[in-house]
Amino acid sequence: MADLGDLYEILGVDRSASADEIKKAYRKLARELHPDTNPDPAAEERFKQVSVAYEILSDPERRLSYDTYGDPRGPGAQGADFGAQGFGDIFDMFFSQMGGTQSRRRGPAAGQDVETSVRLTLKEAAFGTTKEFSLRLPVRCSDCNGSGAAPGTSTQPCSDCQGTGEIRRVRQSILGQMVTASPCPRCQGLGQTVPNPCGACRGDGRVAEERTMTVEVPHGVESGTTLRLSDHGAAGPRGGPSGSLFVHLEVAPDPRFERSGDDLHTMVHLGVAQAAIGTAVDVETLEETVSVTIPAGTQSGEILKRRHEGIPHLRGRGRGDLYVHIQVDTPTDLSEREIELLGELAEIRGEYLEPCGEHHGILSKIRSAFS
């Protein structure tokens, strides 16, 4: 029972089915599959699946969460896994042990979880920061303090469920006393009704507002990291608890660096003379510009390593490293004098140059001078 599959297929209805259509489909299947009328063990298992599917899809909040995330528990849940605890609660509701059971009040439903994204620079991701952003979401109504009742009035216990939030039916079966329970349709499982709704929120206990929030981003985070802020999501109806806020972090590309885990890679371009003779060049790090010594005879493609100048580790102490990749650039668009000097160097080093092309005349003169 850990994986039920598609709840709409179990009930045989479309995803756009109304609440009445879902209820009719459930009642029809329940009559066909109930153990009292169908002794087939497979039918009993199917009856349990149908009961669980109806319990979820008949609850507006859980149905919306299932339609949005594929799971009635909201974002972050992996698949429609109802697990031992979740299914056990539902099983107890529909298949109580023999004898009486104590009513259980459902209470106000929790608000929905909310998702947003925040963009960071590489430096902010490396060293941590505080980011401010705005969201429009349901918040507790200040006029009625979330109760949904007009100021000076109060909610009343639901007359249909006597304030329990559930409608229970007891009947005798071959299994003994069968107790079925479902959310009260009159109060939507809240146990309370609002005779005089609040004018600001129309009895819902919530209003939509633009809220400015801040999130503390720890050092060392990567793009794709998600931070969860409990009780910062949408407020629940009629004073219900707020859901969670999931903040997805996006790290903008930095033209200076490529990130690999907690290490950084950067490129330094050198001229032929710089690489051959050696020099010192300025290299940017995340924090400052440092001088890096280039040894004589450095070849294109060599990598110089600077320890502990990369990204601080998200967990634990220390930092990654900075790798400086060397690219020796071959000169182009040479002047006549530059060609002469390179030709002389080639002759001194015994590097044969065949006079040809546009530089034929210059190279011939150099060869004559050294012959």
Q: Could you confirm whether domain 258-328 is CATH 3.30.830.10?
A: no
Task: Report pLDDT digits (tens) over 288-326.
Answer: 999 999 999 999 999 999 999 999 999 889 999 999 999
pLDDT range class, residue 44, cuts 50, 70, 90: confident
* Range from 55-64, 84-93, 132-141, 320-329 carrying the lowest mean pLDDT: 84-93
Mean pLDDT for the chain?
Answer: 84
Look up tokens 């499982």; give the residue: 189
What is the secondary structure of 272-292 as a DSSP string? HHHHHH-EEEEEE-SS-EEEE
* Range from 59-73, 147-161, 268-282 carrying the lowest mean pLDDT: 59-73
Query: Which of 167, 51, 64, 75 has its CA nearest to residue 109?
Result: 64
What Å distances lie between residue 273 and 196, 297, 338, CA to CA? 87, 9, 12
* Range from 166-180, 276-290, 329-343 carrying the lowest mean pLDDT: 166-180
What are the sequence ranges of the domains in the chain? 1-95, 258-328, 336-370
- Of all helices (H) and strands (E), which one includes residue 263? strand 263-270
Residues 256 and 266 sit within 8 Å (Cβ to Cβ):
yes
What Å distances lie between residue 166 and 4, 159, 182, CA to CA? 24, 11, 6
Between these two residues, 307 and 73, which has the higher pLDDT value?
307
Strands 192-193, 176-183: pairing kind: unpaired
Residue 103 clears pLDDT 50, i.e. is over it: no
Task: Output the CA angle 215-220-221, nearest 5 degrees.
Answer: 55
Task: Output the CA angle 40-41-46, nearest 5 degrees.
Answer: 95
Rounded CA separation 167/326 (Å): 75
- What is the fold of 1-95? Helix Hairpins (1.10.287)
Between these two residues, 352 and 141, which has the higher pLDDT value?
141
Residue 51 clears pLDDT 70, i.e. is over it: yes
What Å distances lie between residue 279 and 100, 276, 282, 298, 361, CA to CA? 89, 9, 10, 10, 34
Between these two residues, 168 and 243, which has the higher pLDDT value?
243
Query: Which of 228, 268, 234, 235 has its CA nearest to residue 249?
Result: 228
Residue 124 clears pLDDT 50, i.e. is over it: yes
Residue 357 clears pLDDT 70, i.e. is over it: no
Mean pLDDT over 56-65 rounds to: 85
Residue 106 clears pLDDT 70, i.e. is over it: no
Put residue 145 in one of left, alpha, beta given phi > 0 → left and psi -120 to 50 → alpha: left
Rounded CA separation 198/149 (Å): 5
Residue 62 clears pLDDT 90, i.e. is over it: no
pLDDT range class, residue 170, cuts 50, 70, 90: confident
What is the three-class DSSP state of 135? Answer: strand
> How much is the pLDDT for 92?
45
> How much is the pLDDT for 78?
44
Q: Does the fold of domain 258-328 match that of domain 1-95?
A: no
